[in-house]
A and B are shown apart, each in its own frame.
Chain A
């Protein structure tokens, strides 16, 4: 159920749309008919991850194995080895952190067709506090060979990514958020795994962002434009594999890159972009993330402000690259 805090959880000029978890849940439910091999394995949080909507429509294709993420992931791996497209979802932290070795053994290492969906990612979940916040999940998922990692920014992109994820053969991690997400894309906008989206042209600097920070990046670019700074904005929705061409273009055509993400400083999009560019086109970079720390309880907007995930911080990061 949407609450008032959901609506004010992201400080942005854009209108609020569906939470990405809601968009995923509706898309999965709708795609159930076109993808008869899809089954869902739930660790008793289906009403939070929204896989419940699929389960209610297709009860014979849904399994709730209780509060047991390790077993949940193993069961998904077993179902995938029987030819099913197994979607298993939990809060990002319980899925990646709790069942990491099971993901390694039952999904990544044998290359099984399992779709891992982590909801409630980042600090924007708010009051439930740090134990519920997946802030290491992208780093963990990217550390697994062969796992495609996707972080979506709004409802439309999530719906399209859900379909692309089901069509893709192999392990995928899809990272979703709890609160309502600002609208970035028009209905029907296309999505291709591994192909980033240039949302704004610009020749001075590039802001590479994903998830909720895409909206902040666009707002920051607006502010900077008034100062005469021309920013390109790239939605790097797929973190693994990275869109290396887009990064090469940004590094060669603009004067520096800011990477903005709702994740720890280490292991996520920023780390991956920096690693790629340092070996190809060393580039001045700056990073916007929560740093090297855990979050805490609080209202989402207050948390985002306190932990530095605002358009102002993104703009400051771009300004820091000058001179």
Chain B
């Protein structure tokens, strides 16, 4: 199989997102640790990238130099990436069930040296956009037509390095660089607005010279539309400010359980069972 993107229709995308959510819950509950709620908020974006016709990849040749790149800068959400790559044919469900276990390459945060599909080692927050910028500059230098997608969290953009990268990407007019900020409203100790209010994000991105789009990031149609517009913009980098809900897909359960953040908390076996039943009826 050569490099290609996978394009599912609207129903197919929704089914795939549901399947990815199931895997996120299963593997984090099996691991007994991890960040399912941060993974669930980003599920539509990651699903659209992998199954909406964007990421040109070859699971049989995962290091093909001509591939598109996806960097999960919010590395703690790696279950969504393992799940998507599992569905893409990179890994089996059995393999990713070893998440966080001793000797498993499916570490708690992406390790680029250990596992194909991990384009950058992340988990120290704020660093993915810089690495993505380097990749975008490399593509431009070699005059290849790929794209680099970097998914960031709304907490990690507290890091100044993100804005260093924003300014440099504007300087070099990296139209092949697409940043997505998963604005799920929470970081480790509380609401992002309470920890460090970054103000109007879209205006900030625009002011840094980026083509900026603002969407409801758990609405697959809006995600697809924004990614298409981002790809069509070739003169400058695009930032998609993607408003989501932490735990999207099972949020009503999280509300019932009394915690709408659940940062770094896997579901107990009982809650996971309840969540999987809930998802199957959704």
Contact = CB atoms under 8 A, between A and B. Distances in A.
User: Do A and B associate with each other?
Assistant: yes
A86 interface: yes
Contact of A75 (B112, B123, B134): B134
Contact of B161 (A39, A71, A82, A84): A71
B3 interface: no
Given A68-B161, A105-B121, A60 B141 contact: yes
Residue in B120, B131, B160, B171 with the greatest tally of chain A CB atoms within 10 Å: B131
A283 interface: no
Nearest to A84: B138
B120 A106 contact: yes
A68 B164 contact: yes
A110 B134 contact: no
Interface string A289-305: 00000000000000000
A64 to B, nearest CB: 9
Contacts of A109: 111-113, 121
A282 interface: no
Interface residues of B, number: 33
Interface of B: 65, 111-113, 119-124, 126-127, 129-139, 141-142, 160-161, 164-165, 167-168, 171-172
A39 B141 contact: yes
Contact of B130 (A66, A71, A111): A71
Contact of A106 (B121, B137, B167, B168): B121
B127 A70 contact: yes
Interface residues of A, number: 31
A104 interface: yes
Contacts of A61: 141
A75 B124 contact: no
A128 interface: no
A78 B141 contact: no
Residue in A68, A75, A102, A110 with the greatest tally of chain B CB atoms within 10 Å: A75
A81 interface: yes
A65 B168 contact: yes
Interface string A97-113: 00001101110011100
A110 to B, nearest CB: 4
Nearest to B130: A74
Contacts of B130: 70-71, 73-75, 77-78, 102, 106
A63 B134 CA distance: 10
Contact of A65 (B113, B119, B126, B164): B164
A257 interface: no
A80 interface: yes
Nearest to B150: A78
A63 B172 contact: yes
A166 B124 CA distance: 28
Contacts of A75: 130-131, 133-134, 137, 165, 168
Given A39-B141, A79-B135, A74 B165 contact: yes
Contacts of A83: 65, 138
Contacts of B129: 74
B133 A74 contact: yes
A76 interface: yes
Interface in A21-79: 39, 41, 60-61, 63, 65-66, 68, 70-71, 73-79
Contact of B120 (A60, A76, A110): A110
Nearest to A86: B134
B139 A82 contact: yes
A78 B132 contact: yes
Interface residues of chain A: helix, strand, loop or mixed (majority): helix
Contact of B164 (A39, A70, A86): A70
Contacts of A63: 137, 168, 172
Contact of A104 (B112, B120, B124, B139): B124
B164 A66 contact: yes
A77 B161 contact: no
Given A110-B120, A110-B121, A76 B134 contact: yes
A202 to B, nearest CB: 43
10 contacts: A63-B168, A65-B171, A68-B161, A74-B127, A79-B135, A79-B138, A80-B134, A81-B134, A82-B135, A82-B142
Contacts of B171: 65-66
The 5 A-B residue pairs with the shortest CB-CB distance, nearest first, are A78-B134, A74-B130, A82-B138, A71-B164, A68-B164
B157 to A, nearest CB: 14
Contacts of A65: 164, 168, 171
Contacts of B134: 41, 74-82, 86
A110 B107 CA distance: 14
Contacts of A86: 134
Contacts of B120: 77-78, 81, 106, 110
A161 B160 CA distance: 34
A133 B133 CA distance: 30
Nearest to A106: B131
Contact of B165 (A71, A79, A84, A104): A71
Contacts of A82: 65, 134-135, 138-139, 142
B137 A79 contact: yes
A68 to B, nearest CB: 4
A79 B139 CA distance: 9
Contacts of B65: 82-83
Residue in B133, B164, B171 with the greatest tally of chain A CB atoms within 10 Å: B164
Contacts of B112: 81, 109-110
